[in-house]
């Protein structure tokens, strides 16, 4: 990860917890190498170099990163909604329960540090930095789309995670990696660097949404037998999407990350869990219905954001529009469709 571009806070009197579109950057930027004392300001005219526009959508310009989705305002809105959704699902596990608040607890003689891989709009980093003001948070992503006004204990950097991490051994107490599966071709390739930059006893968190259609009746269907599929259009959508991703070398099965961590030999106390969230507001439980409504928005927006990739695969406009509209109509009307979120905690040996 040879290039890192920290975002610098411009004014203590201004705040911006949302995302900034790439159209009007007014950040102060800097190139930074492995030496913390080596910082050079980046001229604002270089900002557009991180972006490419194609057919009205904005993408990253990296020649190595496999990430296939746009990085423009509609996609940033999806990422922000996804962050809110996950916060309502497992937010307490970040701040009051489990190993994360324990590892980030204040110590008199040490400044704790945390790294967020693929920070996106940076909302998770900013929220955590507010909850843990004594911790230094670093976020890294391939494009600078986070807030213009990070908190004093936050640094956002531009870098490609498929390259070697620039940070020194044992630099962090906590490494957070959520929704990064589309940013790497093989999840296993980043784990050696994750292990290297985590100190002994440090915590790694992984959280990924499964790109697969599920229905709450699936477990009741006869094995190998014919059945009336309640969501065939959603299954077809994800089959096509996964085939397109795999054609770019992106492995889409995120259900085995705990096994990958075990295979490294660098982690112990590996705890994995899965949550199944309604898609749409059909659930009788008001809380789950609210989560489902949020997830419906996220998946609807995802269907739009994946269209450029489907075009690159040579699909016709008619096919793409039919595929995505059928998917959106089905998840918005069929009761019982759910999505799986797999997450893992692991402790560095």
Give me the CATH code for the 7-213+251-279+340-348 domain, please. Answer: 3.40.50.150
Find out whether 348 and 266 touch, Cβ atoms under 8 Å: yes
Sign, CA dihedral 196-197-198-199, equals positive
pLDDT at 224: 62
pLDDT along the chain (349 residues), means of 10: 47 39 38 39 69 95 95 97 96 91 96 98 97 97 88 93 94 98 96 98 98 90 72 99 97 96 98 98 98 98 98 98 99 98 98
pLDDT, tens digit (0-9, with 9 covering 90-100), for 196-225? 999 999 999 999 999 999 999 887 766 665
Domain ranges of the chain: 7-213+251-279+340-348
Are 257 and 272 in contact by the 8 Å Cβ rule? The answer is yes
pLDDT digits (tens, 9 = 90+) for 334-347: 999 999 999 999 99
In whole angstroms, give the CA distance from residue 247 to residue 114. Answer: 34
pLDDT at residue 4, as a whole number? 52
pLDDT digits (tens, 9 = 90+) for 273-331: 999 999 999 999 999 999 999 999 999 999 999 999 999 999 999 999 999 999 999 99
Task: Report the pLDDT value the prediction gives residue 48, as an integer from 0 to 100.
Answer: 85
Contact 309, 244 (CB under 8 A): yes
The CA-based angle 164-245-47, given to 5 degrees, is: 55
Whether 177 contacts 13, CB under 8 Å: no
DSSP reduced 3-state for 106: coil
- Which residues pair with residue 341 across a beta bridge? 209, 275
**What Cα–Cα distance (Å) separates residue 212 from each residue in 17, 52, 237, 280, 320?**
32, 29, 9, 16, 18
pLDDT of residue 317: 98
57 within 8 A of 70, measured Cβ to Cβ: yes
Beta bridge partners of 203: 174, 347
pLDDT given at position 148: 77
Which residues, 6+ apart, have CB-to-CB distance to 39 below 8 Å?
Answer: 6, 30, 31, 32
Residue 182: per-residue pLDDT: 97
Could you give the CA distance from residue 69 to residue 308 in angstroms, rounded to a whole number? 8
Triad 42, 126, 80: Cα angle to 5°: 95
**Beta-carbon count within 10 A of 259 CB:** 12
Overall pTM surpassing 0.85 (yes/no): yes
In the chain, the percentage of residues whose pLDDT exceeds 70 is: 85
Spatial neighbors of 160 by CB under 8 A, at least 6 apart, are: 1, 62, 64, 65, 142
């Amino acid at each position: 990860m040879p290039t890192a571009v920290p975002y610098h806070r411009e004014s203590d009197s201004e705040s911006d917890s949302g995302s900034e579109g790439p159209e009007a950057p007014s950040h102060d930027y800097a190139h930074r190498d492995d030496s913390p004392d080596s910082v050079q300001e980046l001229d604002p005219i270089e900002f557009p170099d991180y972006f490419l526009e194609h057919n009205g959508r904005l993408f990253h310009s990296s020649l190595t990163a496999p990430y296939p989705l746009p990085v423009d305002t509609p996609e940033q809105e999806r990422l922000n909604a996804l962050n809110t959704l996950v916060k309502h699902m497992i937010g307490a596990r970040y701040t009051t329960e489990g190993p994360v608040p324990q590892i980030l607890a204040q110590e008199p003689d040490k400044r704790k540090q945390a790294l967020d891989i693929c920070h996106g709009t940076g909302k998770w980093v900013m929220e955590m930095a507010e909850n843990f003001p004594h911790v230094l948070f670093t976020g890294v992503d391939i494009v600078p789309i986070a807030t213009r006004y990070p908190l004093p204990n936050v640094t956002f950097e531009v870098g490609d995670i498929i390259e070697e991490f620039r940070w020194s051994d044992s630099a962090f107490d906590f490494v957070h990696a959520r929704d990064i599966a589309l940013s790497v071709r093989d999840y296993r390739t980043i784990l050696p660097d994750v292990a290297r930059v985590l100190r002994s006893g440090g915590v790694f968190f992984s959280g990924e949404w499964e790109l697969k259609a599920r229905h709450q009746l699936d477990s009741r269907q006869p094995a190998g037998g014919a059945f009336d599929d309640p969501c065939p259009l959603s299954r077809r959508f994800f089959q096509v999407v996964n085939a397109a991703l795999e054609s770019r070398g992106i492995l889409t099965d995120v259900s085995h990350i705990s096994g990958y961590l075990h295979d490294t030999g660098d982690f112990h106390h590996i705890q994995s869990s899965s949550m199944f969230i309604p898609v749409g507001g059909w659930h009788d439980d008001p809380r789950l219905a609210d989560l489902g409504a949020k997830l419906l928005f996220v998946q609807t927006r995802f269907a739009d954001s994946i269209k450029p990739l489907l075009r690159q695969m040579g699909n016709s406009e008619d096919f793409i529009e039919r595929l995505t509209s059928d998917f959106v109509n089905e998840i918005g009307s069929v009761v019982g469709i759910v999505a799986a979120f797999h997450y893992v905690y692991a402790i560095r040996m």
